[in-house]
């Protein structure tokens, strides 16, 4: 039986990695086969592309270049890692995936819904997440909780207006794909969010 494909999405600092780590522990302790990936990255080639995208030296990079680089990293990850793992019955969990491209490059950098939807389809084919958890919290609130943005990360040091556009992009994609994307209130404490996360995962995927 094919494994479940689960992705986590949301603005910076909303608690994606915190919840992904909890899921890792949960699956590990219950002895369920799982693979955890981060986007962009997850293969040697994809990690090189990640460094190129995030480097401050590349502040002249335009939106289309950035979107295509994300897709290039993703194509490699899907072919080399995700597809074989799912075929093998492994649960695959990704910290950010296609909806990040939609929110960041589509909405915030203005490439638009049609371009990103087409790009995501070309890149992924039929490898679509069974469930996407959108950790819903506006960027101002997330940054305040985190104690400010990371100045060394090119994307995080963008203006708050940029992140508001990212958030609006997430809201848009969530309304376009309500079957796949489940919105979870990320403003609760980490235990409260986790209760909601694992309940949705158990209800919607093969994870037990
Ligand atoms: N529900 C929560 N309540 C309060 N603080 C939280 C909660 N979840 C995570 N945090 C804290 O907020 C910070 C950011 O969390 P985390 O790194 O998980 O977010 P993220 O969405 O992965 O961020 P990024 O987009 O930067 O990768 C961390 O210091 C974490 O401990
Ligand atoms: Mg993170």
Residue 39: what pLDDT?
A: 86
What is the per-residue pLDDT for 159? 87
Q: How many structural domains is the chain composed of?
A: 1
Q: Cα(121) to centroid of ligand 2, in Å?
A: 25
Residue 207's pLDDT is 96
Q: Which domain holds residue 54?
A: 5-204
Residue 145 CB less than 6 A away from ligand 1: yes
Q: Ligand 2: distance of its center to the CA of 146 in Å?
A: 11
> For position 144, what pLDDT does the model report?
83
Q: What is the 3-state secondary structure (H, E, C) of the chain?
A: CCCCEEEEECCCCCCHHHHHHHHHHHHHHCCCCEEEEECCCCCHHHHHHHHHHHCHHHCCCCHHHHHHHHHHHHHHHHHHHHHHHHHCCCEEEEECCHHHHHHHHHHHCCCCHHHHHHHHHHHHCCCCCCEEEEEECCHHHHHHHHCCCCCCCCCCCCCHHHHHHHHHHHHHHHHHCCCCEEEEECCCCHHHHHHHHHHHHHHHCCCC
pLDDT value, residue 1: 76
Low-confidence ranges of the chain (pLDDT < 50): none
pLDDT, position 189: 97
Q: What pLDDT does 97 receive?
A: 95
Query: Is the beta carbon of 193 within 6 A of some atom in ligand 1?
Result: yes
CATH number at residue 193: 3.40.50.300
């Amino acid at each position: 039986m094919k494994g479940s494909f689960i992705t986590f999405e949301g603005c910076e600092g909303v608690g994606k990695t915190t919840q992904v780590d909890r899921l890792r522990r949960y699956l590990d302790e219950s002895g369920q086969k799982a693979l955890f990936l981060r986007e962009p990255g997850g293969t040697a080639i994809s990690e090189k592309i990640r460094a190129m995208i995030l480097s401050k030296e590349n502040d002249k990079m335009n939106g289309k270049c950035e979107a295509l680089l994300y897709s290039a990293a993703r194509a490699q990850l899907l072919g080399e890692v995700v597809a074989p793992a799912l075929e093998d019955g492994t649960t695959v969990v990704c910290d950010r995936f296609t909806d990040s491209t939609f929110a960041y490059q589509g909405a915030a950098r203005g490439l638009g819904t049609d371009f990103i939807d087409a790009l995501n389809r070309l890149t992924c084919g039929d490898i679509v997440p069974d469930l996407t958890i959108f950790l819903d919290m506006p960027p101002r609130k997330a940054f305040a909780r985190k104690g400010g943005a990371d100045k060394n990360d090119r994307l995080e040091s963008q203006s708050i207006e940029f992140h508001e556009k990212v958030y609006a992009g997430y809201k848009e994609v969530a309304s376009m794909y309500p079957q796949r994307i489940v919105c979870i209130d990320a403003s609760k404490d980490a235990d409260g969010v986790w209760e909601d996360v694992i309940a949705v995962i158990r209800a919607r995927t093969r994870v037990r």
